[in-house]
């Protein structure tokens, strides 16, 4: 390998981002606000999106975003391209619950609007917290904010959540390089505590067997993000 090919490779840069949406189903619901922060340039991006459909009252109750606020705003076709341009081609996009929410919405909207996503890498800060802060009873963004002593924000508004996420994740990973973080996330996990549900934070040995079987019958362990949890219960002999 030519040494220049390694040393001249572009360094991955972190982009923290968040989306607010009309609901929780990427195939049906729409992004109504998207924000991002580039800590290297110290620049932010935030934009309302006209979803071309009414915003449900349930969404407005959570985000505070109304039909009137997005009526004169551009569609995702325009906003999405501006977001892609802001992030650049060699970014690592970081969001809380990225794998199961923000990334899925971003991909769905880009596909819907014929936008080509760069070959970005993604980090889910929720996954990192569950993996390396298994001592915590909750891994929600607001609970992590309190754990790390970060000032309260306007929760469920995209840029506010992005800035809080930036502070939280910076504290959690300290000075680790993005490449190292990606490697650690892909490494096998020694799961010792329940990661979600009514027994979240409890040692796996204290989770009732009938509850574990109920999760299995409901398909919870069929999800890729719960594979290591399933294996941990199998080692304990709870799952056969």
* Model pLDDT for residues 16-30, shown as the tens digit of each residue: 999 999 999 999 999
- From the CB of residue 134, how many other CB atoms can be counted at a distance below 10 Å? 17
3-class state of residue 12 by DSSP: coil
CATH 1.10.600.10 fits 11-186, yes or no: no
Average pLDDT over residues 85-90: 95
**Catalytic site residue 156?**
yes
| Per-residue pLDDT tens over the stretch 148-179 | 999 887 767 889 999 999 999 999 999 899 99
Instruction: Please calculate the CA angle 179-145-84 and round it to the nearest 5 degrees.
Output: 45
Query: What's the mean pLDDT in 67-74?
Result: 98
Pairwise CA distance, residues 27 & 4, whole Å = 43
The helix or strand, by DSSP H or E, that contains position 86, with its residue range, turns out to be helix 76-87
- The single residue of 30, 103, 156, 193 carrying the catalytic annotation is 156
Mean pLDDT of the chain: 90
Residue 59: what pLDDT? 97
> What is the enclosing helix (H) or strand (E) of 127?
helix 125-132
Tokens of residue 183, six digits:
């490697």
- What is the residue extent of each domain of the chain? 11-186, 188-240
Asked if pLDDT for residue 134 goes beyond 80, the answer is no
Q: What are the phi and psi torsion angles at 182 (to 5°)?
A: -60, -40
The pLDDT of residue 239 is 86
């Amino acid at each position: 390998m030519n040494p220049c090919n390694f040393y001249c490779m572009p360094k991955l840069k972190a982009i923290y981002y968040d989306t607010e949406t009309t609901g929780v189903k990427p195939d049906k619901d729409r992004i109504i606000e998207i924000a991002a922060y580039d800590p290297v340039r110290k620049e932010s991006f935030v934009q309302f999106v006209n979803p071309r459909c009414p915003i449900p009252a349930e969404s407005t109750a959570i985000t505070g975003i109304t039909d009137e606020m997005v009526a004169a705003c551009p569609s995702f076709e325009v906003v999405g391209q501006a977001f892609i341009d802001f992030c650049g081609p060699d970014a690592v996009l970081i969001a809380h619950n990225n794998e199961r929410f923000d990334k899925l919405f971003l991909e769905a909207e880009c596909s819907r609007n014929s936008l080509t996503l760069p070959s970005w890498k993604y980090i889910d800060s929720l996954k990192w917290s569950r993996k390396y802060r298994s001592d915590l009873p909750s891994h929600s963004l607001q609970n992590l904010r309190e754990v790390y002593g970060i000032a309260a924000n306007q929760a469920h508004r995209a840029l506010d959540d992005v800035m809080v996420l930036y502070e939280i994740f910076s504290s959690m990973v300290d000075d680790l390089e993005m490449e190292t973080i990606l490697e650690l996330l892909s490494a096998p996990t020694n799961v010792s505590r329940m990661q979600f549900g009514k027994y979240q934070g409890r040692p796996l040995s204290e989770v009732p067997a009938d509850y574990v079987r109920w999760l299995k019958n409901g398909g919870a362990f069929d999800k890729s993000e719960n594979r290591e949890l399933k294996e941990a219960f199998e080692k304990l002999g709870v799952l056969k």
